[in-house]
């Protein structure tokens, strides 16, 4: 069988463990060098393929590639760039195939969420039609945990662990201060469309913490929420609120959209956390503190879940093995076998079933009052945050995150206008 | 020598390691049980002494006391309650002495910042005058790092490590996304009066990150700041800004005070980070993300500095040993002996020299342009974040933080009106 090169790219928001998937892809390709030549990585994701900015990963030492397992973010750069539909912009897809052909690329490993699964699917279809078939494999990645078929998505477990631990720690803090000072702590977490990440904050109830979740799935009703906060503070002395950035009113408006103006009359952008805090202050007068975790949560490699890390690597590896087995247009998945003890295996899904399908949080995971999670949700979440996988630190006390050389291969084609 | 009980209380904002000082105090007292009977802890700090809410720490197992080393927050509760001056409210001080006398308390260990050093000093003076002399020892604690004489304060090293690591991780994230998405990341950190914590964010420059600090020590000049952001983004493709909550304009107004109004005309409270982000958007149009670390930073026991933890324990232990050696009205301190290798020893300071003195960050620690730190600052900071001291985790993936029984001893006095 002839030797082909592989293309690998990172897509969309990065995570604490997407580089572990990259490591899984590259190390496994290197183990099959008779079949797979070089792994060329897209600089800044798929844009790197369109621009023919292809990173020569053969220039990276085995040690540096291994260090990707311990390094958050996207080592080759990612991008928010969705290829248009085939009808709208066929030339982008054709350009991809042209670049793949010029660089003898026979394998396309695309590491991302729902949009990239769709792109991956189209590349596989079009390459065949164009007479240069490329095996297109989607490696799942998203902190949003919203890909279908797979039990969970790499990246989510580590964010969930970070949010659960951070919410627990901050709640201990508030409990210490509540007698004379802060009574309510509000933590804003990611999740524009689904409450998966906020749900992880609900786990701290198991540690005796009075916590209320504001999930995108449940319409925000101010009076009911204020009453719930009052009840928690009166019975426990304090309360923690974990609000999803996607929390919204019945009319669909996000809590974060308050139509506030600064002194110049400019619209003021704010997060959901300060809005929730202000509601509490005005309604109940409690002293509060609020935090917005933002990028801290998804890049927190220092507190990655060992389960998540292992799965991120395993899916990268599985993607390559599936390609070598002749598979095309698929995504390796996590199939859960049991909760206690947690056991899982690798499965696979056809990209035609993955593309453009969004998995939302089941309503059976949300408690009756809408402010918490159910036991079913707990049983789902805990295995995903199991185990600690710390990075190494240098003698100065900082983590040894690797920065790759990222040298580009020589271009062979004309410039492409994006 | 007769046996006396000890009183211990936590004061002000809690930290990731204040419980390690509590552990140092209690374990050392237990080792000297012929001299020190029981350690009674104030429930919710000094208020617990005034209310005669005294926690009987003898009811806690050795294992649980040891677990304090791994548990953030204040295990006995803290408070924001500054005793008034002797002239204004002599009865509060007299009540303290009355409670101490009723419970045979001969040692007063007060674990806090500048205000509590002052209280501690007054207790020592007044108890002598009242004919019931109590040995008053102040155990330093503050994330603000602003106590005089001691080289650094327990609590600060762990926050500094958390901010340095988190800023590094988020910066890796932004770098990955900058080609098509976020170009500037703004992180708000604590420090109302001094830039110690923000300075720790400056360490990431050593890891190749373009970072700008906004410190309370340097007047915020919008044009100069915007130009600096533009320069960083144009030369690196992205930029991280670490803004202290205490950053302010030349007229003394905090950046966070924007005089914004919501749709009902109510004053809108916000952080400094969204204000800085909005300035960048309006001036440069860059896509941004912002985070506010708030309590997450000071409670992040999951990423404590091993140096900080060791010092917190050592100062608690030293406080007891000094008391046993007959010392009074003092605070054990950290004296730095050398930077490389980092060596330190325990010293002591008279409380009369500590009370009401605030240590600010030396201007020699701030770079000429005001947006960064100097090598002198780096040499100061690195030793304080050295080493990782992880808590244990349970099989579900959550940290094993201890919650004490906190049983109160029987009251002997009449109720006191606060």
Instruction: Using an 8 Å CB-CB cutoff, list chain A residues near B271.
Output: 274, 292
Predicted local distance difference test score (pLDDT) of residue B82: 85
Closest CA to A314 of A17, A12, A8: A17
Q: What is the pLDDT of residues A258-314, one digit of tens each?
A: 655 545 555 444 689 999 999 999 999 999 999 999 999 999 999 999 999 999 999
Q: How many domains does chain A have?
A: 2
Instruction: Spot the catalytic one: A115, A144, A146, A151.
Output: A144
Which pLDDT score, from 0 to 100, does residue A231 have? 98
The whole domain housing A227 covers 156-298
Q: Read off the DSSP letter of residue B402.
A: -
Task: Say if A134 falls within a structural domain.
Answer: yes
B176/A73 Cβ within 8 A: yes
The pLDDT, as a whole number, for residue B88 is 84
Question: What's the CA gap between B361 and B202, in Å, rounded?
Answer: 14
| Residue A144 falls in the annotated catalytic set | yes
| B308 and B290 in a common domain | no
Contacts of B187 in chain A (CB under 8 A): 296
Q: How far apart are CA A409 and CA A102, in angstroms?
A: 12
Together in a domain, A245 and A290: yes
Query: How far, in Å, CA of B134 to CA of B97, rounded?
Result: 8
| Cβ neighbours of B16 in A, within 8 Å | 169
The answer to whether residue B235 neighbours chain A at the CB level (below 8 Å) is: no
At residue B140, φ and ψ (nearest 5 deg) are: -70, 145
> A77 and A207 in one domain?
no
Q: Which residue, A312, A320, A167, is CA-closest to A243?
A: A167
CATH of the domain at B66: 3.40.50.450
Give me A373's structure tokens: 């999670």
pLDDT score for B261 = 52
With a cut of 50, list the residues of chain A below it in pLDDT. 262, 267-269
Last residue of a domain, one of A325, A341, A356: A356
- Is B164 part of the contact surface with chain A (CB cutoff 8 Å)? yes
Q: Do B173 and A208 touch (CB under 8 A)?
A: no
For residue B397 the two structure tokens come to 């993936």
CB contact under 8 A, B388 and A390: yes
Residue from the list B73, B290, B382 with its beta carbon closest to the beta carbon of A172: B73
Shared-domain flag, residues A46 and A89: yes
CATH code, domain with A181: 3.40.50.460
Chain A within 8 Å of B135 (Cβ-Cβ)? no
C-alpha span between B399 and B71 (Å, rounded): 9
Q: Which of B356, B379, B399 is the last residue of a domain?
A: B356
Q: Is B109 within a domain?
A: yes
**CB A166 to CB B300 under 8 A?**
yes
Residues B274, B261: Cα–Cα separation, whole Å: 15
Could you report the predicted ipTM of this complex, rounded to two decimals? 0.97
Q: Are β-strands A36-42 and A54-56 bridged in parallel, bridged antiparallel, or unpaired?
A: antiparallel
pTM: 0.97
Distance CA A245, CA A274 (A): 11
Confirm whether B17 is domain-assigned. Answer: yes
What pLDDT does residue A417 have?
Answer: 86
Active-site residue among B56, B64, B118, B144?
B144
Contact A291 B290 (CB under 8 A): no
Instruction: Tell me the nearest-neighbour CA distance from A188 into chain B, angstroms.
Output: 9
Tokens describing residue A34:
């008779």
Are residues A288 and A306 both part of a single domain? no
Residue in B15, B147, B111 with CA at minimum distance from that of residue B320: B111
B135 and B172 assigned to the same domain:
no
| Partner B contacted by A288 (CB < 8 A) | no
- Confirm whether B416 is domain-assigned: no
- Compute the distance between CA of residue A302 and CA of residue B166 in angstroms, rounded to an integer: 8
- Distance between CA atoms of residues A354 and A143, nearest Å: 17
Distances from the Cα of B148 to the Cα of A325, B14, B154, B344, B401, angstroms: 68, 19, 13, 16, 32
Q: Which residues of A touch B282 (CB under 8 A)?
A: 266
| Sign of torsion over alpha carbons A320, A326, A329, A335 | negative
Give one word for B285, left, alpha or beta, with left for phi > 0 and alpha for psi -120 to 50.
Answer: left
Picking from B15, B165, B394, B166, the residue whose alpha carbon sits closest to that of residue A203 is B394
Quote the CA–CA distance of A8 and A26 in Å, as a whole number: 9
Using alpha carbons only, give the angle A165, A171, A175 rounded to the nearest 5 degrees.
Answer: 150
Per-residue pLDDT of chain B (418 residues; tens, 9 = 90+): 589 999 999 999 999 999 999 999 999 999 999 999 999 999 999 999 999 999 999 999 999 999 999 999 999 999 998 888 888 888 999 999 999 999 999 999 999 999 999 999 999 999 999 999 999 999 999 999 999 999 999 999 999 999 999 999 999 999 999 999 999 999 999 998 899 999 999 999 999 999 999 999 999 999 999 999 999 999 999 999 999 999 999 999 999 876 555 555 555 446 899 999 999 999 999 999 999 999 999 999 999 999 999 999 999 999 999 999 999 999 999 999 999 999 999 999 999 999 888 898 999 999 999 999 999 999 999 999 999 999 999 999 999 999 999 999 999 999 998 8
């Amino acid at each position: 069988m002839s030797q082909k090169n592989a293309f690998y790219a990172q897509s969309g928001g990065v995570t604490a463990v997407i580089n572990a998937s990259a490591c899984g892809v590259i190390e496994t390709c290197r183990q099959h060098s008779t079949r797979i030549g070089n792994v060329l990585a897209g600089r800044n994701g798929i844009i790197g393929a369109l621009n023919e900015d292809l990173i020569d990963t053969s220039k990276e030492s085995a040690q540096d590639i291994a260090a990707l397992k311990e390094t958050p973010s996207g080592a080759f750069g990612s991008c928010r760039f969705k290829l248009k539909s085939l009808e709208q912009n066929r030339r982008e897809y054709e350009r991809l195939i042209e670049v793949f052909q010029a660089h003898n690329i026979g394998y396309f490993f695309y590491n991302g969420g729902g949009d990239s699964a769709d792109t991956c699917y189209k590349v596989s279809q079009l390459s065949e039609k164009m007479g240069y078939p490329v095996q297109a494999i989607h490696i799942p990645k998203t902190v949003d945990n919203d890909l279908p078929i797979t039990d969970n998505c790499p990246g989510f477990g580590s964010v969930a662990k970070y949010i659960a631990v951070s919410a627990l720690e901050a709640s201990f803090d508030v409990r210490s201060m509540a007698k004379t000072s802060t009574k309510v702590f509000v933590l804003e977490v990611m999740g524009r469309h689904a409450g998966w990440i906020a749900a992880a904050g609900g786990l701290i109830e198991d540690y005796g913490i009075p916590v209320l979740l504001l999930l995108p799935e449940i319409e925000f009703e101010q009076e009911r929420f204020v009453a719930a906060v009052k009840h928690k503070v009166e019975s426990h002395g304090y309360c923690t609120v974990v609000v999803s950035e996607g929390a919204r009113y019945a009319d669909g408006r996000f809590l974060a959209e308050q139509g506030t103006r600064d002194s110049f009359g400019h619209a003021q952008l704010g997060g959901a956390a300060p809005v929730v805090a202000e509601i509490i202050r005005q309604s109940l007068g409690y002293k509060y503190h609020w935090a917005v975790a933002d990028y801290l949560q998804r890049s927190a490699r220092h507190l990655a879940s060992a389960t998540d890390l292992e799965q991120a690597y395993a899916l990268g590896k599985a993607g390559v093995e599936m390609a070598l087995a002749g598979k095309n247009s698929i995504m390796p998945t996590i199939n859960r076998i049991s909760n206690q003890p947690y056991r899982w295996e690798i499965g696979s899904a056809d990209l035609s079933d993955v593309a453009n399908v969004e998995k939302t949080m089941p309503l059976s995971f949300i408690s009756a009052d809408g402010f918490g999670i159910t036991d079913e949700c707990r049983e789902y979440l805990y295995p995903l945050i199991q185990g600690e996988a710390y990075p190494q630190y240098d003698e100065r006390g900082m983590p040894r995150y690797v920065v790759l050389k990222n040298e580009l291969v020589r271009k062979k084609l004309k410039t492409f206008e994006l």
